[in-house]
Amino acid sequence: MTNLILCHMSTADRPYNVVGLGINIYSGEELCYLIAQNAHTLDHDFMDERLCDFLDKQLELTELADKLREILRDKGNLSDFVMAILDEIGYCDADEMRNIKQILIESAGLSPARKHKSRGDNLLKARKFARAIDEYAGTLKKIDVDAEPILYAAVLHNMGTAYAKLLLYEKAAEYYMEAYRLNMDDESLIMHIVCCRLYMTDEKYDRMIIRCGYSDRVISAAGDILKTRDDYAGSANKYAKQLAELKGLKESGQVSRYYETLDATLDIWKREYRMSLT
């Protein structure tokens, strides 16, 4: 979320994690904002009893919670559920609400696979990499690869990206290559080469390049990414630099500073790892 939202209603002591988006919310206004920004990816699992409980117990919106529970009991549709929230909280104006309703109606015709891919993409953007991988894995089960090879390949490619963000480059390389075999898209092949470079020894990488006969163009493109992209070369180098700094402190006899830096570094790494899993 890039803009500040002035919340006039109660805010929660404990957040609600919005299904499929990987984002915690603390207020009704934040919920409406997320609905407005992600209406095209909302699915029926957004209609969750946990959301009713959150609105009731955390935000003291008991009447709205009861209305939503009634929609759930009557097996109502997603549009009715969402519009009840927007109407009660009043964050969106009339034009915005009409637009959101239209999006919900139109997106109802999207296949479950495309909706779930969008949700995986949202999780990937939110840096919830492990959850994005789970979402993509479920999405693949919903796609007939023979009928929709390009969509299947797009999911595989994004799974590769999620694994690369977790620094699991060998696994990422496998998914990028699977994607390339289906879509024959240079982007997937280039990212496969990037990841191979990051986990292979020099000798093994050189043998792979010679054996596969990749063009100079794609090899050069992969090299450019390794030089300039923080997401790949930078993420690996960041940890290497931190380890080198720790080693330097220890070897120079700065024991106290070494242990202080070690503790601080481990805390940062733990937070980054937990953030990728939640």
- Among residues 29, 154, 32, which one has the least CA distance to residue 97? 32
- Per residue in 232-274, pLDDT (tens digit) is 545 555 666 777 787 787 788 887 787 787 777 777 766 665 5
Taking residues 92-106, what's their average pLDDT?
87
- Among residues 113, 117, 110, which one has the least CA distance to residue 158? 117
Amino acid letter, 185: D
* Contact assessment for residue 195 and residue 205, using Cβ atoms and an 8 Å cutoff: no
- The length of the chain, given as a count of residues: 278
Question: Residue 2 has what pLDDT?
Answer: 43
Taken in order of first residue, the domains within the chain and their CATH numbers are 11-107 (no CATH), 112-228 (1.25.40.10), 231-277 (no CATH)
Radius of gyration of the chain (CA): 23
H or E segment to which residue 18 belongs? strand 11-18
Give yes or no for residue 154 having a pLDDT over 90.
Answer: yes
Which of 149-158, 185-194, 258-267 has the lowest average pLDDT? 258-267
Question: Residue 1 has what pLDDT?
Answer: 40
Question: Residue 229 has what pLDDT?
Answer: 58
- Among residues 142, 178, 144, 146, which one has the least CA distance to residue 159? 178
* Contact assessment for residue 82 and residue 66, using Cβ atoms and an 8 Å cutoff: no
Measured in degrees and rounded to the nearest 5, phi and psi for residue 13 equal -75, -35
